[in-house]
Amino acid sequence: MHGSSRAGPVRERRPLYVDLLPPCNAGCPAGENIQAWLADMQAGRHEQAWRQLVADNPFPAIHGRVCYHPCETVCNRAELDSAVSIHAVERFLGDLALDRGWMFDAPSVRSGKRVLVVGSGPSGLSAAYHLARLGHTVEIRDAGGEPGGMMRYGIPTYRMPRDVLDGELARITALGVRIECGHRVDDLAAEREEGNFDAVFVAVGAHLSKRVDIPAGDAGHIVDALSFLRSVASGERPVIGRRVAVYGGGNTAMDAARVARRMGADEALIVYRRTRAQMPAHVEEAEDAEREGVRINWLRTITAFDGPELQVEIMELDESGFPQPTGRFETLAADTVILALGQDTDTAFLRAVPGVEFQRDGTVVVSDSLMTGAPGVFAGGDMVPSERTVTVGVGHGKKAARHIDAWLHGTAAESQPKHPQVSFDMLHLWFFGDAARRQQPELMPAVAVAGFDEVIGGLSDEQVSFEAHRCLSCGNCCECDGCVGACPEDAVIKLGEGHRYRFDYDRCTGCGACFEQCPVHSIEMVAEHE
């Protein structure tokens, strides 16, 4: 053989091509293969990128607007200059698909199984989508007037235009999923029996607002945030006055304050009992609210309200970081107080189902497969302990569909082992220069608060292509030919576009030149006899 007759030291290690897990993929609650669809975008394969994306998540146009993109928080590119604007590329793909009328592929076979989904929010819709693509007949029942759950009634139109929501939901029904709105499920066992359903996925959203007793005079107008947002989303114009105080520190509080500004409030302030660092709202949500003139009063609790006077007590953090009252008070001006203190799910209809158990906070106990103690009854989204976001809900729906499908077939869903994750310090970044992130256009605050037009715009085709090319392809070969050029023995064989390379180990001396220059760490040096 070619290398066997060579004199020299015995090779102690050799290079091996590997595929590692990029942090963006690992950080996506919806389980998207982000790096794969970004690679398709780099190659200009837009429809292929969209189909790769919707294999995991049917709502790219929605997620590109409302997801808090944890994939970008962990993106290795942030250590170089700034994270890839993954959500902007996802939004572009989603909007392009709506514009061009791309549809989901119909299932090739029908299973003959029927699944009932209770709730048409992100989790229920996601489960229905994945179950339908697996060939099952799916019916969704929802108490609301229109499908979408909190995506429709809790997220304002300046963040989620309703034509985008309706366009992506229409693809679900085009798959054959039947959605029946205005249908409240009170007796799950009866619904299951009457509809001859083989399995059930319960994904009722958190629509019950938590309350707090605030001493209020006759002039004190107090409403809960979800009712306020729902009424505005339904086209109503609730009377709130010129000055509005929102009590709470989550994303719903920020939305309520921003909507209040759009409903004519000259002043909108948020009262929150902890600090900025402790608030549950995402940082950019608070920043967007402040940009639109919303004032945030930290370390304050409301003690009494007799409009137009609002009494708040100043808080201080104790050694454990918990807010404690100080006995010092302030008086603020407010015509309306909006309570945004969190939400609970209405799980009363499940309490009569034998085997279903509940946590102390009212959420449902489920196994790793998301099945409750009742055989064939699964639950996800806001009903189980988790972060309550659209993306987490969609991920639950996907996971539940996989386990429901396995349960219907009398098997257990197999989990594929994940590759090791690749970190920034594993990369050799000679191949990548600095490239500033492209910024999405935004309405000026004075214009934004004048109506409900979408505040953040999309990137152009050229800008999206640029963003896709900023991806470092962490841990997976990007076919840069660096290993070919670096090898002094011509031991790297190029197999053609899309097929990567192979090593000729007869020629290879184990010098490691290919490994040292590989920008994305898709080569590792292993012991000769591993």
Q: ∠ CA 282-239-314 to the nearest 5 degrees?
A: 50
Listed residues 469, 499, 515: the one ending a domain: 469
Same domain, yes or no, for 29 and 58? Answer: yes
What's the CATH number where 397 sits?
3.50.50.60
What's the CATH number where 30 sits?
1.10.1060.10
Is residue 509 in some structural domain? yes
Same domain, yes or no, for 215 and 126? Answer: no
Same domain, yes or no, for 223 and 294? Answer: yes
What's the CATH number where 500 sits?
3.30.70.20
For 118-176, the pLDDT digits (tens) are 999 999 999 999 999 999 999 999 988 899 998 998 899 999 999 999 999 999 999 99
Q: What is the CA radius of gyration of the chain?
A: 27
Tokens 């729906």 sit on residue = 397
Same domain, yes or no, for 221 and 321? Answer: yes
Same domain, yes or no, for 235 and 320? Answer: yes
Same domain, yes or no, for 224 and 322? Answer: yes
pLDDT of residue 23: 96
Is residue 449 in some structural domain? yes
Is residue 311 in some structural domain? yes
Is residue 423 in some structural domain? no
Same domain, yes or no, for 307 and 218? Answer: yes
Print burial letters for 142-164: b (CB count within 10 Å at least 16), e (below 16).
bbbebbbbbbbbbbbbbbbbeeb
For 392-434, the pLDDT digits (tens) are 999 999 999 999 999 999 888 778 888 899 999 999 887 676 6
Distances (CA, A) of 340 to 248, 304, 344: 5, 16, 12
Same domain, yes or no, for 135 and 226? Answer: no
Is residue 194 in some structural domain? yes
Count of C-beta atoms within a 10 Å radius of residue 316:
11
Band of pLDDT at residue 497, cut at 50, 70 and 90: confident
Contacts 24+ apart (CB under 8 A), 373-380: 376/198, 376/199, 376/200, 376/407, 377/188, 377/199, 377/200, 377/202, 377/353, 378/199, 378/200, 378/201, 378/202, 378/403, 378/404, 379/201, 379/202, 379/203, 379/350, 380/123, 380/127, 380/201, 380/202, 380/203
In this structure, are residues 204 and 123 in contact, taking their beta carbons and an 8 Å threshold? no
For 200-250, the pLDDT digits (tens) are 999 987 666 677 777 776 656 889 898 899 999 888 899 899 999 999 999
For 455-485, the pLDDT digits (tens) are 999 999 999 999 999 999 999 999 999 999 9
Residue 81's contacts (CB-CB under 8 Å, 6 or more residues apart) are 434, 435, 436, 437
Q: ∠ CA 156-161-165 to the nearest 5 degrees?
A: 105
pLDDT (average), residues 274-289: 91
Is residue 379 in some structural domain? yes
Same domain, yes or no, for 236 and 305? Answer: yes
* Owning domain of residue 436: 23-102+431-469
Same domain, yes or no, for 350 and 337? Answer: no
Same domain, yes or no, for 82 and 181? Answer: no
Listed residues 308, 341, 374: the one ending a domain: 341
Listed residues 341, 365, 396: the one ending a domain: 341
Same domain, yes or no, for 252 and 296? Answer: yes
Averaged pLDDT score across all residues of the chain? 90
Distances (CA, A) of 456 to 81, 247, 366: 23, 26, 38
Residue closest to 424 by CA, chosen among 42, 20, 40, 88 = 20
User: 337 pairs with which residues across the strands?
Assistant: 222, 245
User: How many domains are there within the chain?
Assistant: 4
- Containing 225, the helix (H) or strand (E) segment is helix 225-233
Tokens 């152009």 sit on residue = 460
Is residue 396 in some structural domain? yes
pLDDT (average), residues 283-293: 92
Three-state DSSP at 113 gives: coil
Distances (CA, A) of 77 to 164, 421, 423: 30, 15, 10
